[in-house]
Amino acid sequence: MADLKIHRVETLGEATFDSPLKDSIVRFYNGEAIACNDRTKELGKLESISDIEYFELAGPREKLFFNPAEVTVGIVTCGGLCPGLNDVIRALTFCCEESYGVKRVLGFKYGYEGLVAKYYHYPIELTTDNTDEIHEKGGTILKSSRGRQDDDEIINTLVHYGVDILFTIGGDGTQRGSRDIVARLRERNLPISVVGIPKTIDNDISLIQRSFGFETAVEATWDIITNAHNEARAYKNGVGLVKLMGRESGWIAASAALANSAVNFCLVPEVGFDLHRPNGFLEVLEKRLKRKEHAVVVVAEGAGQHLFSDHTTDTDKSGNKRLKDIGLLLKDEINNHFSSRNQEVNVKYFDPSYNIRSRRANANDSMYCLQLGNNAVHAAMAGCTNMIVGMHHGRLVHLPIDMIGDRKSIEPRGWFWQTVLQATHQPTNMMN
Domains of the chain: 5-211+361-392 (3.40.50.450), 215-358+412-424 (3.40.50.460)
Nearest to 34 by CA among 60, 59, 12: 59
pTM of full prediction above 0.75: yes
Q: Kindly list the catalytic residues.
A: 202
Name the β-bridge partners of 168. Answer: 76, 196
Where residue 319 falls (left for φ over 0; alpha for ψ -120 to 50; beta otherwise) is left
Nearest to 95 by CA among 281, 370, 401: 370
CB atoms within 10 A of CB 153: 15
pLDDT value for 317: 66
Q: Which helix (H) or strand (E) holds 253?
A: helix 251-259
Residue 46 CB contacts under 8 Å (≥ 6 apart), including other chains: 52
Q: Which helix (H) or strand (E) holds 7?
A: strand 5-7
Longest dimension (CA), the chain: 79
Residue 20 CB contacts under 8 Å (≥ 6 apart), including other chains: 68, 99, 100, 101
Residue 362 CB contacts under 8 Å (≥ 6 apart), including other chains: 83, 215, 216, 219
Residue 386 · residue 182 · CB < 8 Å: yes
pLDDT value for 312: 66
Residue 206 CB contacts under 8 Å (≥ 6 apart), including other chains: 404, 405, 406, 407, 408
pLDDT in tens, the chain (432 residues): 447 889 999 999 999 999 999 888 789 998 899 888 877 666 667 767 777 889 999 999 999 999 999 999 999 999 999 999 999 999 999 999 999 999 999 999 999 999 999 999 999 999 999 999 999 999 999 999 998 899 999 999 999 999 999 999 999 889 999 999 999 999 999 999 999 999 999 999 999 999 999 999 999 999 999 999 999 999 999 999 999 999 999 999 999 999 999 999 999 999 999 999 999 999 999 999 999 999 999 999 999 999 998 766 677 766 677 899 999 999 999 999 999 999 999 999 999 999 999 999 999 999 999 999 999 999 999 999 999 999 999 999 999 999 988 889 999 999 999 999 999 999 999 999
Q: What is the chain's Cα-based Rg?
A: 24
**Alpha-carbon span 298 to 5, nearest angstrom:** 43
Residue 71 · residue 48 · CB < 8 Å: no
**Alpha-carbon span 369 to 87, nearest angstrom:** 6
Q: 328-332 long-range contacts, Cβ below 8 Å, gap at least 24?
A: 329/304, 330/241, 330/297, 330/299, 330/304, 331/241
pLDDT value for 1: 44
Residue 193 CB contacts under 8 Å (≥ 6 apart), including other chains: 12, 65, 66, 164, 165, 166, 380, 383, 384, 385
Beta strands in 304-415 (DSSP E): 346-350, 384-385, 387-392, 395-400
Three-state DSSP class for 365? helix
